[in-house]
Amino acid sequence: MMQVKEKSKTVIMDGSKLIVESLVRSGADVFIGYPITPANLLYSYSLERFREFFAAPDEITTLQWMCGFSTTGKIPVTATSFPGYALMLESVNMAYMMELPMVIVLVQRLGPATGSATCGAQGDLSLLHGSISGGFTLPVISVSNMNDCWELSNKAMKMAVDLRTPVVLLTSKEEVMTQASFDISQLSEINLIERKQYSSNETFVPYKTEESLVPEFLKVGNAKHQVRFTASTHDQKGIIQNVAKEAIENTKRLEAKHILNLNKHLYFDYDKENGAETLLISYGITASASREAVKNLRAKGEKVSLLIPKTLLPVAPKYFEIISEYKKVVIAEENLSGQYRKILFGEFGNKNISGVNGFAEMITPAKIVDAVLFK
């Protein structure tokens, strides 16, 4: 979608291709998946591109196999949509508790339930926000254009590996299926991400941590040290405990590590206009409509700033710093009731905060313009 410049290399591209290629170049070892529209392009490109590919018989199995691969030091990837993610939920909690890196590409489609498989949506953020039982944060990174499909796939994997956690790369039907002219000459180099292994001779304590609050990893089946993984409440040794203090501290660390390291994995675009009193916030598929709306508003001489959060969860304090500079905030997202708006500001909200919402259709730039201008 870039302007044609000299020496540009224009091809017909889609987001699925960029995500799969980027993940493989980032060092993802294996794709495990169960077909579901609109994630099927990711599935078929992965079959072509991944060194190892497994067709699982359902989404619970998908996540369990991924966990198995992850305990051996490999980096697994899957792609799904709401119905599949719903089945994965308990196993995502398991991966979170065991601290197993993996990337789940979630392609949003219209719900509830089976809904409309071929219609896009942004309806799953509330579910992701509450995915981990107990009030813990599951990291969610959201793409806002084709270039993000490339860059953020790598960043999502880096976050998964560095923090030893499942990470959701959030997309939607239009973002991974729409084809577009795209200049591949401007794609950045993708860095290979490696999983470091514990290398000391001292007894390995599976969930012992230092400052980063992320335990060192050692693969199951190694010849030197006993390794334990468990999804039940456990102490540093990986031994099941009920609510013993050490074990509860270890569980609470799972949230603390994400908060502590958030700034290393914080991605957003902030297009600030001096003198603007209104901030437009948008993410995912609606970010493009918002960019166009801002362009149109500025062409009319209206002042407005635009924040596109990409690390959606954990919510960064930085976002509130930016928000506090404005009198009025408008949040545009394609779901019925404003899921990110509620995550940021609660159910009750505030008269200076309004939402532009849509269901079963993409939000138009015109609708966003109206909301920004509404007094």
CA distance 136 to 250: 13
**CB closer to another protein out of 48 and 211:** 48
Instruction: Burial-class residue 351 by CB neighbours within 10 Å (0-12, 13-18, 19+).
Output: exposed
What tokens appear for 328 in the block? 């009025």
Cβ proximity to another protein: between 137 and 172 the closer is 172
Per-residue binding letters, 210-249, with another protein (x by CB under 8 A): ----------xxxxxxxxxxxxx-----xxx---------
Cβ proximity to another protein, 228 vs 342, nearer residue: 228
Omega before 38 within 30 of 0, i.e. cis: yes
- Shortest approach of another protein to residue 210 CB, angstroms? 23
341 binds another protein (CB under 8 A): no
Question: Smallest distance, Å, CB 370 to another protein?
Answer: 14
Q: Which of 187, 188, 183, 178 is nearest to 14 (CA)?
A: 178
Residue 309 CB, nearest distance to another protein (Å)? Answer: 18
Report how far residue 60's alpha carbon sits from residue 314's, in angstroms, rounded to the nearest whole number. Answer: 25
- Among residues 24 and 106, whose Cβ is nearest to another protein? 24
* CB of 343 vs another protein, minimal distance in Å: 25
Q: Which of 43, 54, 82, 268 binds another protein (CB under 8 A)?
A: 54
* Residues 101, 160 contacting (CB under 8 angstroms): yes
Tally Cβ neighbours within 10 Å of residue 47: 13
Site residues (CB under 8 A) for another protein, limited to 64-93: 64-72, 74, 90-91
The nearest distance, CB 189 to another protein, in angstroms, is 14
| CA-based R_g, the chain, Å | 21
Residues in the chain: 375
Q: Could you tell me the smallest distance in angstroms from the CB atom of residue 110 to another protein?
A: 12
Among positions 245-304, residues that touch another protein (CB under 8 A) are 288-289, 291-292, 295
Ranges within 154-173 binding another protein (CB under 8 A):
none
Stretch that binds another protein, among 271-279, 305-313, 315-323, 361-369 (CB under 8 A): 361-369
In angstroms, the first-to-last Cα distance of the chain is 34
Site for another protein in 118-137 (CB under 8 A): 118
Judged by CB under 8 A, which stretch of 174-182, 254-262, 274-282, 312-320 contacts another protein?
174-182
Distance, CA of 375 to chain centre: 34
Strands (E), 247-365: 268-271, 278-282, 305-309, 311-313, 328-333, 353-357
Q: Binding another protein by CB under 8 A: which of 17, 158, 253, 328? A: 17
Tokens for 219, please give them: 């693969």
Q: Which is nearer to another protein, 271 or 342 (CB)?
A: 271
Q: Which two tokens stand for residue 23?
A: 């993940």
Tell me how many residues contact another protein (CB under 8 A).
77
